[in-house]
Amino acid sequence: MLRKAKDCRLAVLVNLPFSAPRDVHRQWPLKLLGSPLAVAVSVNSLMAVKALLDLGADPFLPVYDGIQFQPGDPRQQWTAFHIAAKYHCGDILQYLVEHTDTSKQLGLSALGCALAFSTSLERLAMHGPRRTKQLDRTIQIIQGIQSLAVMTSNGMT
């Protein structure tokens, strides 16, 4: 019983988003935002994603705190799937697709919209010369879940 209670508390903690951005280092422009799972995806760490999922992280929960974005901003509904799409992390996105409930994947808000939220510099830093291949792979995985024409609640595609 105690183990189950600890597991429940741990699952709550691994799903809890930061309420403010975290600086990695004051000399670096990188700021981490969101749940531990969002951070693991943001730094392209498949090992950390697997560990967090094993600890009870839910890839379908919103990764950001509700106050971090203005009302109507599509990022309020973003999940780990959206962060993987944003940073073109094909390996992580593929892992999430293969290890989660397909019926829940159908309920995800527009994944294609997330593709445009990262900068060229972020993608270059993460993927180097493989950035175009990662984009192509990410698009292919998204199309296996939903059309790229799926719109957000405010009409963004």
Question: Is pLDDT above 60 for 157?
Answer: yes
Q: Is residue 150 part of a domain?
A: no
Residue 154: inside a domain: no
Of 78, 62, 60, nearest to 153 (Cα)? 78
pLDDT tens per residue across span 77-113: 999 999 999 999 999 999 999 999 999 999 999 999 9
Tell whether the model's pLDDT for residue 1 goes beyond 80: no
Query: How many domains is the chain partitioned into structurally?
Result: 1
Residues 12-29 as b or e (16 or more Cβ within 10 Å = b)? eebbebbeeeeeeeeeee
Q: Is residue 157 part of a domain?
A: no
Under 8 Å between Cβ of 86 and 127:
no
pLDDT at 156: 81
Q: Is residue 155 part of a domain?
A: no
DSSP, collapsed to helix, strand or coil, labels residue 94 as helix
pLDDT band at 41 (very low <50, low <70, confident <90, very high): very high
Question: Mean of the pLDDT values across residues 39-65?
Answer: 95
Q: Is 46 part of any domain? A: yes
Six-digit token string for 44: 């392209």
Residue 21 lies in a domain: yes
Task: Return the CATH number at 58.
Answer: 1.25.40
Q: What is the pTM of this model?
A: 0.89
The boundaries of the domain holding residue 141 are 2-145
Query: Is 74 a domain residue?
Result: yes
